[in-house]
Amino acid sequence: MRHFLQLSYDGTAYHGWQIQPNADTVQARLDSALSTLLRQPIHSVGAGRTDTGVHAKMMVAHFDSPGGFDEADLCRRLTRMLPSDIAVAQIVRVPDDAHARFDAIRRTYHYDILLQKNPFRRHFATRIHYALQFEQMNTAAALLLGTHDFSSFCKSGTQTKTNRCTVYEARWMPIESGMYRFRISADRFLRNMVRAIVGTLFTVGNGRLTIADFQRVLSAADRGAAGESAPAEGLSLVEVAYPTELFQPV
Min dist CB 87 to its own copies, Å, is 4
Segment contacting its own copies (CB under 8 A): 5-13, 28-36, 202-210, 220-228? 5-13
**Three-point CA angle 25, 28, 30, nearest 5°:** 110
For the chain, how big is the Rg over CA atoms in Å?
Answer: 19
CA distance 68 to 182: 42
Is 51 assigned a catalytic role? Answer: yes
Q: In a 10 Å sphere around its CB, with 0-12 CB exposed, 13-18 middle and 19+ buried, how is residue 70 labelled?
A: exposed
Q: Does 87 bind its own copies (CB under 8 A)?
A: yes
E-assigned strands of the chain?
Answer: 2-9, 45-46, 55-64, 86-94, 106-114, 126-127, 146-149, 164-176, 179-186, 235-241
Q: Does 86 bind its own copies (CB under 8 A)?
A: yes
Question: Residue type for 24, please?
Answer: D
Min dist CB 140 to its own copies, Å, is 29
CA distance 83 to 237: 19
Min dist CB 55 to its own copies, Å, is 7
Q: Which is nearer to its own copies, 124 or 242 (CB)?
A: 124
* Catalytic residue, candidates 10, 24, 31, 51: 51
Which parts of 134-193 interact with its own copies (CB under 8 A)? Answer: none
Q: Does 79 bind its own copies (CB under 8 A)?
A: yes
Which parts of 34-63 interact with its own copies (CB under 8 A)? Answer: 55, 57
CA distance 158 to 142: 26
Min dist CB 185 to its own copies, Å, is 20
* Interface size with its own copies, residues (CB under 8 A): 18
Q: Give the residue, chosen from 120, 212, 244, 249, that forms a contact with its own copies under the rule CB under 8 A.
A: 120
Q: Which is nearer to its own copies, 83 or 95 (CB)?
A: 83
Q: Which is nearer to its own copies, 124 or 214 (CB)?
A: 124
CA distance 64 to 99: 11
Q: Does 116 bind its own copies (CB under 8 A)?
A: yes
CA nearest neighbour of 222 among 144, 159, 151, 165: 151
Q: Does 72 bind its own copies (CB under 8 A)?
A: no
Interacting residues toward its own copies by CB under 8 A: 8-10, 55, 57, 79, 84-87, 116-120, 122-124
Catalytic residues: 51
